[in-house]
C-alpha cells in the first residue's frame, strides 16, 4: 500500500521525487525504490521526522519500535503530521506514541494500487483543517475519500477494507458458474470480470440504486429472475451482510 501511494503521488505531481524520503530496514528494497521512483531513501527511521508528513506504512506489531526511533529526533520538527494506514490501531494508541504530533488515522483499500481506492480518514485531537486537507489530498491521489468519526473505522474496515476480497470471491464464483454452463475458463473469467466492472461503472455514472439496476435487467418470467431467485434461496445477501459484519468484529478485536 505504501508503494501504491508513492507511485500515484508522483504520477499526479502532488509531490516531487526529491521531496520524498522512504525509510525501510531492507537496503535492497530501498535501492529498488530509489531506482524506480528517484526518491531519497534511508535505513534510519529517525530521519523521517524532518518531513511535513510522516506516513506509517508498517506492520502494527512494530509500531512501538518505529515510534521510538522517530521520536529520537522529534524535536527537529515536532509538528510533522503523522498519517497512519495501520489496520486496527486506534487513534488513542497512535497519539500516545506521538504525543507532540497531529495524527490522522486512515483505512485505504487495495484498489488504491490502480487509482480506484476507497479511503476513510479519522482525525486526531490536534489535527487542523489544513492537516485534514493535506491528508485528503494524499488519498484522493489513489481514489475516493470519506471523513468519518473514528468509532466507524472498524465498520469501514469490514466493508471497503475487506470488501475487495468478497468481490473477488463473487467474480470467481460468477466465472465458475459460466464454466459449469459450458464456457471455456478464459472466456468465463473475462465475461465475469467485465460484467462486474461494467455494472459498478453504470451504477456510479447513473446514480441508480442497485435495486433499480436489478429491476431493469429482470424481466417477468425471464432468465435473470430465475437466477435472482436462486441467489435469494441460497442466502447471498445474508451471507454478504454477515461477511462484512464478521470482518468488522475482527477489526474491533484487533484494535482492543
CATH code for the domain in which residue 227 is found: 1.10.3730.10
The residue segments making up the domain with residue 19 are 2-153
Asked if residue 110 and residue 50 are part of one domain, the reply reads yes
Residue 138: inside a domain, yes or no?
yes
Asked if residue 168 and residue 142 are part of one domain, the reply reads no
Q: What is the pLDDT of residues 98-126, one digit of tens each?
A: 988 999 999 999 999 888 999 999 999 99
CA distance 194 to 180: 19
Residue 21: inside a domain, yes or no?
yes
Asked if residue 204 and residue 143 are part of one domain, the reply reads no
Q: For the domain that residue 30 is a member of, what is the CATH number?
A: 3.40.50.720
Q: Do 6 and 115 contact (CB within 8 A), yes or no?
A: no
Is the pLDDT confidence value at 47 over 60?
Answer: yes
E strand or H helix at 103: strand 103-107
Overall domain count for the chain:
2
Q: What is the pLDDT of residues 218-241, one digit of tens each?
A: 999 999 999 999 999 999 999 999
- Pairing state of beta strands 21-23 and 40-42? parallel
Q: What is the pLDDT of residues 127-145, one digit of tens each?
A: 999 999 999 999 998 999 9
Helix (H, G, I), strand (E, B), or coil: what is residue 134?
Answer: helix
Q: What is the pLDDT of residue 240?
A: 97
Asked if residue 135 and residue 49 are part of one domain, the reply reads yes
CA distance 136 to 14: 12
Query: Binning pLDDT at 50, 70 and 90, where does residue 78 land?
Result: low
Is the pLDDT confidence value at 57 over 70?
Answer: yes
pTM: 0.86
Query: Binning pLDDT at 50, 70 and 90, where does residue 76 land?
Result: very low
Asked if residue 215 and residue 139 are part of one domain, the reply reads no
- Pairing state of beta strands 117-123 and 103-107? antiparallel
Asked if residue 7 and residue 120 are part of one domain, the reply reads yes
Asked if residue 45 and residue 141 are part of one domain, the reply reads yes
Among 153, 182, 197, the domain boundary falls at: 153
Residue 83: inside a domain, yes or no?
yes
Among 131, 153, 175, the domain boundary falls at: 153
Asked if residue 26 and residue 136 are part of one domain, the reply reads yes
Among 119, 153, 187, the domain boundary falls at: 153
Residue 158: inside a domain, yes or no?
no
- The angle subtended at Cα 201 by Cα 197 and Cα 202, nearest 5°, is 115
Asked if residue 233 and residue 170 are part of one domain, the reply reads yes
Asked if residue 24 and residue 118 are part of one domain, the reply reads yes
Residue 42: inside a domain, yes or no?
yes
Asked if residue 168 and residue 70 are part of one domain, the reply reads no
42-56, 72-86, 132-146, 186-200: which has the minimum mean pLDDT? 72-86
Q: Which three cell numbers stand for residue 168?
A: 473477488
Asked if residue 178 and residue 140 are part of one domain, the reply reads no
Query: Binning pLDDT at 50, 70 and 90, where does residue 38 land?
Result: very high
Amino acid at each position: 500500500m505504501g508503494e501504491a501511494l508513492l507511485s500515484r503521488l508522483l504520477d499526479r505531481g502532488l509531490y516531487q521525487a526529491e521531496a520524498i524520503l522512504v525509510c525501510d530496514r531492507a537496503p535492497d528494497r530501498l535501492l529498488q525504490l530509489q531506482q524506480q521512483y528517484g526518491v531519497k531513501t534511508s535505513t534510519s527511521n529517525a530521519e523521517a521526522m524532518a518531513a511535513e508528513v510522516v506516513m506509517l506504512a508498517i506492520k502494527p506489531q512494530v509500531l512501538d519500535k518505529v515510534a521510538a526511533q522517530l521520536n529520537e529526533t522529534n524535536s527537529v520538527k515536532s509538528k510533522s503530521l503523522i498519517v497512519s494506514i495501520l489496520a486496527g490501531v486506534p487513534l488513542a494508541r497512535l497519539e500516545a506514541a506521538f504525543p507532540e504530533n497531529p495524527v490522522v488515522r486512515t483505512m485505504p483499500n487495495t484498489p488504491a494500487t490502480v487509482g480506484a481506492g476507497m479511503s476513510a480518514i479519522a482525525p486526531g485531537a490536534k489535527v487542523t483543517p489544513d492537516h485534514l486537507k493535506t491528508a485528503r489530498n494524499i488519498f484522493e491521489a489513489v481514489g475516493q475519500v470519506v471523513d468519518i468519526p473514528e468509532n466507524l473505522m472498524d465498520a469501514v474496515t469490514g466493508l471497503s477494507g475487506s470488501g475487495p476480497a468478497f468481490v473477488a470471491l463473487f467474480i470467481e464464483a460468477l466465472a465458475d458458474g459460466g464454466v459449469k454452463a459450458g464456457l471455456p475458463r478464459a472466456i468465463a473469467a473475462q465475461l465475469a470480470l467485465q460484467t462486474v466492472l461494467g455494472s459498478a461503472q453504470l451504477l456510479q455514472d447513473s446514480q441508480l440504486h442497485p435495486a433499480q439496476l436489478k429491476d431493469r435487467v429482470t424481466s417477468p418470467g425471464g432468465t435473470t429472475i430465475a437466477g435472482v431467485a436462486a441467489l435469494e434461496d441460497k442466502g447471498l445477501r445474508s451471507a454478504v451482510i454477515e461477511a462484512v459484519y464478521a470482518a468488522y468484529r475482527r477489526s474491533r478485536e484487533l484494535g482492543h
